[in-house]
Amino acid sequence: MEKITLCYAAFPGIANAFGGLTRISPSGKVSILINTGRTDEEQKRTLKHEFSHIILGHLWDDRIHGEDLSYLDDNPEVEDEADRYADQMTDETLLELKKSMVEETVYW
What pTM was estimated for this model as a whole?
0.86
Residue 7 has pLDDT above 90, yes or no: yes
- pLDDT tens digits, 55-67: 999 887 665 544 4
Distance (Å, whole) CA 34 – CA 28:
19
Residue 24: its pLDDT value, please? Answer: 87
* Domains, the chain: 4-107 (1.10.10)
Q: How far is CA 82 from CA 11, 16, 23, 27, 104, in A?
A: 22, 20, 15, 24, 23
Instruction: Compute the mean pLDDT over every residue in the chain, rounded to the nearest whole number.
Output: 86
- pLDDT tens digits, 41-87: 999 999 999 999 999 998 876 655 444 444 455 678 889 999 999 99
